[in-house]
Structure 1
Amino acid sequence: MLSLVASTFILPAQAELTEQQQKIQQQILSFAKQHLHDQQPAVFVLSGDAGSGKSAVLSAVFSELQQQAHQSDAPLAGTKNYLLVNHNEMLKIYWEIAQQQSFLHKKDFQKPTPFINRCEKLQQAADIVFVDEAQLLLSQADRFNHFLADNQLDELLKWSKVLVLVLDFKQVVKLKSYWSEQMLRHHLAGYHVKFVHLKQQLRLKSPAVAAWLDQLIMGKLLPLPTVHDYELKIFPDGQPLFNWIKQKDQQFGLSRLLATTDFPFRVFSKEPWYVEAGTLKLPWDRFNYQDRPWASQPQTLHEVGSIYTIQGFDLNYAGVILGPSISYDESINQIVVDPNKFEDQTALQKRHQADLTDLTAARSQLIKNVVNILLKRGRYGLGIYAVDPALRYRLIELETKKEIK
């Protein structure tokens, strides 16, 4: 039976990092030792696609670092280090990790804003600061999150001796936390920086499916790959997709329905808001007040997850509903994106900074990033239903041709 210990990047007890992950782990530790006492902060940037194992590396490095910090004879003994992540659900996973190791504590894992505000108040810097999902760092002031400075990266540079950023620019999902490689390099100019890219795909078990999804996200619909190591299915209606997910969850566990944020919702609402996909009508995920991540709670099988509950997590099987903002133009044989149909308009609000010359293109890219995140959650299988009729028919046509071969 296929089953994960949890819907997270935490490796099972018997598992090990890959050779490339182990190499990067040692690079980060060596970098920290080498630059801890420099006159200005040094920055290690680890990038990689969704499912490449970035968080697993980060978790392993931080655990080893904190173990050394509590050993009097270790090279990094006595250092004050923190791991930050601007994502509530991922923070809960790191808190779970803290409960499993005596040298880790809940306070070691924080969100960026409270960390920055505390350093500012105490006028006290940390030694080594890790940032997971660093593409979620705010790049402008945000009163809702009690962050009043220009951007969180510049503030973290003020309060860190060594800064380790783990990111994927294809997982940027809000304009208020918009980052590009060009912007990142601009803010890091003048600092000692090392860039490393993690080139592997550990989540999706089929390279052919991963390549097909990359083309889809760019707008190109290619023939579906005929593979035996991954289950890729297209559905004509949301209800059979949901039935498939329920079956997979019963068989293998950790199978959930997900959707692009194309359906009405209100954060913190007491009343449920619904996703409608053909004959299917299910409630959106609710704000998760529990310590357990959304996907690991059994009742969430009867909800629809979003990027806010699933980003950074693994599933065995994922069913993805592509909402109205994702459509198909037969005349050009392209998938097209319409930001005006995207319900998560707060994610697309205009930036205060004038650092984006083409806001329309940026908004479209953010929606593509949402699609990228959702489609790459399932380790062993993916089911897709498209609300747009033209896109749905084209996907079904491609699957039919695949089956004829």
Structure 2
Amino acid sequence: MVREDEKKFDITWPVHKLSCEQKEIEREALDFAKSKLDKGQKAIFVIEGQAGTGKSVLVTALFNEIQAACKDKDSIFGGTKNYVLVNHPEMLKFYKRIAGESSILLKKNFERPTSFINKIQKSAEKADVVIVDEAHLLLTKKDAYNHFYQENQLQEILKNAKIVILIFDNKQVLKAKSYWSKQKLAAILGEDNVKIRHLQKQFRIEANSDVQDWINGFCNKKICCLPEKQKFDFRIMNDSKQMYELIKEHEVTAGLSRLLATYDFPYRLDGNDYFVKAGTLSLRWDRSKPQESLAWAERTDTIDEVGSVYTIQGFDLNYAGVILGPSLGYDEQLSKLVVRSELYEDQAAFNGLKHLNTNIKAVKERLILNALNVLLTRARKGLYIYAVDKNLQKKLLQG
């Protein structure tokens, strides 16, 4: 239960009223799964959608329907074993909390892909329906750090489930070890018994289309004219401390307001605090607290921290202040945004690129821009941007 005094800060669904588009895709996915289970056919249903199109809301509504039907012995889903997988620890916390508040969903049905794969391979039974949220985070190579020793997580999931429903956005791929090109995805999915649907409607950003156009352009190295003044509060800031003060004010009045930054400032998982230093502001990075039941975006104490792409991906904010670090700059002679991958602190994101048969420089750039896209698409009501690079800040202020 959500306390009365917590309601304005709550980011849970369940279950939000679905849009017509979401309802249609939910119905198609359910009918698809029923038909394939009835015929004993393995099949894949892919739901593609960019940030803010309501993918996770649809996951919860869809899984809610499946698990409710699971208790009905006359349903095709009766007695089936079904799971939601997500390769994102903060999102997994979120899902498990939702399950803990539900009379239908169980925490044990929400897992990390590696845990699911390792468990199901020891069992004599296969899973029936597996929904993979944030499927763009699935590993595409061995990763001993994550205890995954096979070649590809999606392939292993497909081997061990009858129906797989993938929620996918190739603009949110963040690491080389989970690098999915459209071609690679198509090669694994094949053509038999695969259906693909697209979510188009944007729910998160409560703004005119010029704001979304500006964000899309910037994440593709284009600096467009600044959006017109409107209800959505879009600002380019020249004072990082002032941006933080605005965020703190919104946290009091609206809740869910946080500072975020590109991964351009040192950070290590060694128990020490590390700081984002931008202009006159010095604020610590988000602390790793795996023991916390609430995700970083849900905890009120994190107003004193700067969130990274890894803690905020998949979550909504009301107001976001985004610090663009040194990896993003502006070349005045070439009159264009430049991406300096050598200054990106998350060099681990590039591990394994040499094994890809592709342009390494271009992929590094794409991974950084994907992370930028995640940060810039979190806010519902207002987005503030501060650039460390003086040339970039000057250009952004000019519009």
The residue type equivalent to 1:186 in the other structure is: A
Q: Which residue of 2 aligns with 1:89?
A: 90
Corresponding position: 1:221 with 2:198:
no
Give the direction of change, closer, same or farther, for the CA distance of 1:368–1:195 in structure 2 (3 Å limit): same
Aligned to 1:175: 176
Secondary structure of the corresponding residue to residue 315 of structure 2: coil
Q: Give, in whole Å, the separation in 1 of the partners of 2:124 and 2:227.
A: 56
Could you tell me whether the CA contact under 8 Å between 1:261 and 1:306 is conserved in 2?
Answer: yes
- 2:266 corresponds to which of 257, 264, 267: 264
Q: Is the 8 A contact 1:40 1:161 kept in 2?
A: yes
- Name the amino acid aligned to 2:50: D
What is the Cα deviation at residue 4 of structure 1? 6.8
State the shift of 1:397 in Å. Answer: 2.0
Work out the CA distance in 1 between the residues paired with 2:14 and 2:69. 23
Q: CA deviation at 1:11?
A: 2.8
% identical equivalent positions:
45
What's the offset of the Cα at 1:12?
6.4
Q: Report the secondary structure of 1:363's partner residue.
A: helix
Tell me the alpha carbon deviations over residues 15-51 of structure 1, each in whole angstroms, 9 at most, x when there is no partner.
4111101111111100100111555520000011100
What code does the residue aligned with 1:348 have? F
SS of equivalent residue, structure 1 residue 36:
helix
Secondary structure of the 1:382 match is: strand
Hey, what's the Cα distance between the residues in 1 that align with 2:267 and 2:7? 30
> Which whole-Å deviations, capped at 9, do the CAs of 1:276-326 have from their partners, x for residues lacking one?
010000000011220101112111001000111100000000000001001
Name the structure 1 match of 2:3.
none
Is 1:99 matched with 2:100?
A: yes
Distance in 1 between residues matched to 2:151 and 2:391, nearest whole Å: 43
CA contact (8 A) 2:136 2:169 kept: yes
- Pairs within 5 Å for 1:345-360: 345-351=347-353, 353-354=355-356, 356-360=357-361
Unaligned runs of 5+ in 1: 399-405
Alignment of 1:18-167 (within 5 A): 18-38=19-39, 40-167=41-168
CA distance in 2, matches of 1:253, 1:30: 39
Whether the aligned pair in 2 keeps the contact of 1:7 and 1:313 (CA below 8 Å) is no
Aligned to 2:312: 310
- Structure 1 residue 209: Cα displacement: 0.5
- Contact kept, 8 Å, 1:140 with 1:352, in 2: the verdict is no
Specify whether residues 284 and 7 from structure 1 end up closer, same or farther in structure 2 by C-alpha distance, changes over 3 A only. farther
| Displacement after TM superposition at 1:122 (Å) | 1.6
Partner of 1:320, secondary structure, is: strand
1:74 Cα deviation after fit: 2.5
Matches within 5 A, 1:263-302: 263-267=265-269, 269-288=270-289, 289-302=291-304
Q: The residue matched to 1:295 in structure 2 has which SS?
A: helix
In the alignment, structure 2 segments of 5+ residues that lack a partner are 1-5
Structure 1 distance, partners of 2:295, 2:257, is 14
Deviation (angstroms), 1:73: 2.5
Structure-1 residue corresponding to 2:343? 341
How far apart, in 2, do the equivalents of 1:104 and 1:330 lie? 54
SS in 1 for 2:122: helix
Whether contact under 8 Å (2:133, 2:168) holds in the other structure is yes
Q: Deviations over 1:75-105 (max 9, x none)?
A: 3111110000000010011111111222211
Q: What CA distance in whole angstroms lies between the structure 2 residues aligned with 1:38 and 1:306?
A: 45
Normalising by the residue count of structure 2, what TM-score does the alignment of the two structures yield?
0.95
Q: Does the aligned pair in 2 maintain the 1:339–1:367 contact within 8 Å?
A: yes
Among residues 334, 340, 349, which one is paired with 1:332 in the alignment? 334
Offset at residue 113 of structure 1 (A): 0.1
Contact 1:215 1:221 in 2 (8 A): yes
Distance 2:133 2:227 in 1: 33
Counterpart amino acid of residue 292 in structure 1? L
Shift of 1:358: 0.8
Secondary structure at the aligned position of 2:194 is classed as strand
Paired amino acid for 1:257: L
Deviation, 1:234, is 1.0
Of stretches 115-124 and 337-346 in structure 1, the one that deviates more from structure 2 is: 115-124
| Cα distance change, pair 284–203 in 1 and its aligned pair in 2 (3 A) | same
- Provide closer, same or farther for how the CA distance between residues 75 and 191 of structure 1 changes in structure 2, counting only shifts above 3 A: same
Question: Deviation at 1:271?
Answer: 1.2
Q: Which residue of 2 aligns with 1:401?
A: none
> Structure 1-normalised TM-score?
0.94
Amino acid at match of 1:92: K
Residues 1:376 and 2:368 aligned together? no
Structural RMSD (CA) = 1.5
Aligned to 1:363: 364
Paired amino acid for 1:315: L
Q: Give the conservation status (yes or no) of the 8 Å contact 1:85–1:132.
A: yes
User: CA separation in 2, counterparts of 1:120 and 1:12?
Assistant: 32
How many pairs were matched up? 392
Partner Cα separation in structure 1 for residue 354 and residue 159 of structure 2: 22
CA contact (8 A) 1:41 1:191 kept: no
Change in CA separation of 1:315 and 1:153 when aligned onto 2, cut-off 3 Å? same
Q: Deviation of residue 57 (structure 1)?
A: 0.6
Match of 2:324 among 322, 325, 340: 322
User: Aligned in 2, Cα 1:71/1:6: closer, same or farther, shift over 3 Å?
Assistant: farther
* Residues 12 and 115 of structure 1: CA distance in aligned 2, closer, same or farther (over 3 Å): closer
